Structure 1
Amino acid sequence: MPTQKHEVFIARVVKEIERRLSNIADSGTDSSSFAQEIKYNGSGRLIFRTAKNDDKHSIIERQPDAVFKHKKAGWPGVIIKVSYSQKTKAIPHLADNYILESNGNIRVVIGLDLDYKTKKATVLMWRPEYVTTLEDELELEAAQTVHHQVFRDEQGNANTSRDAGLRLGLRDFAPPSLPLEDSLAGDCPPGCASDLTDSFLIDSVTLCRFLNEAEKEEQESKHKIGFVEPLQQGARKRYRTKTPPEELNSEDESKFEEDERRVRARMTNDDSSYKTSGSE
């Protein structure tokens, strides 16, 4: 289960991306209507029916930390995953899953990597790219476009380089051939998402501030810092009667999630003959 630092940090990043998209949506430019149709879609599981080059099929589930999707697109455009440095090696494989199994419709996978031993934090990014092999065959790959760019160093200082941080283009939020909104009668035909040039940078100083706030929130929660309204004097707590009687414990949420996973698996088996593999 994600830590409070993890959850608060991703919430701050999501809110900032929404704010930047809102600025474009309100700008009155040709990109406004496109930006208006991009929404944050939470962190729900994504299900992929894989078809590798050996024609073997399986179903995999992946759960990102944040997803942004254009209303007209079939897949999210932007995926965000927060990781801790001991698990960083898994992120490239997750990027492969997201990008390759969506046939490149997922346009960017962002990794926000937090070092668990120091205060160092970095940005990683992958995007789909078609390459031609020596055998003149066309292959789709998840190409890493940002390699561990530091936004906070080991001592907790922000990277003040002008271009350091998380940069996203509007075209990252939808497939490149997705048509833009229809033009007025008599105008030229609408372009595609790949024609969009708007972009924004969430600089390292801002990312560092978000992470500092998340760490502060976590520490304050651990030490019970902050105003808390007390139970009124003389009042007792009235709990619901359990039918049938049962005891709640810390594993209940995991049990509920496992039950939901079993239901989804049954639904999947009813719908297809694909083999099921593990989730991440």
Structure 2
Amino acid sequence: MVGNIAPKKYKLVLGVLEVSYSQNYILKSNGNIKAVIGFDINYGETKESTVSLWRPLYIQEDGEELDMLDVRQEIRCQPFRAPDGIYVNQTQHIRLNLRDFAPDRLSADVRGLYLEISYEKLAEFLRDAEEMRQTRELGDGIKSDRKTRKRKYSSSSVEEMKTEDEAEHRLRETEDAERSAARDTDYNPLSRKRRI
């Protein structure tokens, strides 16, 4: 202890952490991603787990020809498992429409077809996944017999990416964009630049 300040204790947690702005999936896809479901799952001392749901929101502003694309959060961090592991809000559900899975031009006339997942079912899925993980960690789980080789990735961080890695990354991004543009019916092929 230094003076009156107690040293902070830090707990090391190993696992995968994703920090994301879920609305970006919708905004960056120009509304083509129509539903983003987020789960906040806790392990250890608290087992509270929540679900969130975002969808695109189109706003017509006076005098504007185009709609403004925004995001609305339909479900905000609603718990389906309490800190003590008990299932909560079991009668609530996530509802996904068939329209969430298809382009507007294919699903414009589709109404009333949806998939509903109850919070109780989410908690059961989570329990099953945790049991499988625990079994795997104990070595009793069934493992894949598949033999693979892994793609070699640069050991550099994104900020320190080697020049050749950066060039390869840009080339792949360009190729992906060209493939996407070729599939986009609104894309004007006359404006496309050719690579030689």
- TM class by shorter-chain length? 0.5 to 0.7
Which structure has the highest strand share of the two?
Answer: 1
1:172-204 deviations in Å (ceiling 9; x for gaps): 11233x23xxxxxxxxxxxx4353211121112
Is the contact made by 2:26 and 2:55 (CA closer than 8 Å) also made in structure 1? yes
Q: What TM-score does the superposition give when structure 2 sets the normalisation length?
A: 0.60
| Matched residue SS, 1:256 | coil
Residue 27 (structure 2) aligns with: 100
Residue 267 (structure 1) aligns with: 172
Residue 256 (structure 1) aligns with: 152
Is the contact made by 1:131 and 1:140 (CA closer than 8 Å) also made in structure 2? yes
Whole-angstrom distance in 2 between the partners of 1:136 and 1:114: 44
Pick one of 135, 143, 152 that aligns with 1:220: 135
| Matched residue SS, 2:71 | strand
| Matched residue SS, 1:202 | strand
Residue 195 (structure 1) aligns with: 110
Whole-angstrom distance in 2 between the partners of 1:99 and 1:225: 41
Query: In the TM superposition, what are the counterparts of 1:36-115 in structure 2 within 5 Å?
Result: 90-91=19-20, 93=21, 95-115=22-42
Consecutive unaligned residues of structure 1, counting only runs of 5 or more, are 7-83, 180-191, 229-251, 273-280
Q: Residues 271 and 98 (structure 1 numbering): CA distance in 2 closer, same or farther, change over 3 Å?
A: closer
CA shift at 1:271, angstroms?
Answer: 8.9
Give % identity.
Answer: 32
Q: Which amino acid counterpart does residue 52 of structure 2 have in structure 1?
A: L
CA shift at 1:208, angstroms?
Answer: 1.0
Residue 3 (structure 2) aligns with: none
Q: Residues 161 and 217 (structure 1 numbering): CA distance in 2 closer, same or farther, change over 3 Å?
A: closer
Q: Higher relative CO (CA 8 A, sep ≥ 6), structure 1 or 2?
A: 1
Pick one of 196, 206, 224 that aligns with 2:121: 206
Consecutive unaligned residues of structure 2, counting only runs of 5 or more, are 1-13, 144-148, 156-164, 178-196
CA shift at 1:141, angstroms?
Answer: 0.8
Whole-angstrom distance in 2 between the partners of 1:268 and 1:202: 36
1:54-111 deviations in Å (ceiling 9; x for gaps): xxxxxxxxxxxxxxxxxxxxxxxxxxxxxx6xx5xx44x2x23221122111111111
CA shift at 1:270, angstroms?
Answer: 8.0
Count of matched residue positions in the alignment of Structure 1 and Structure 2: 146
Query: In the TM superposition, what are the counterparts of 1:106-145 in structure 2 within 5 Å?
Result: 106-116=33-43, 117-132=45-60, 138-145=67-74
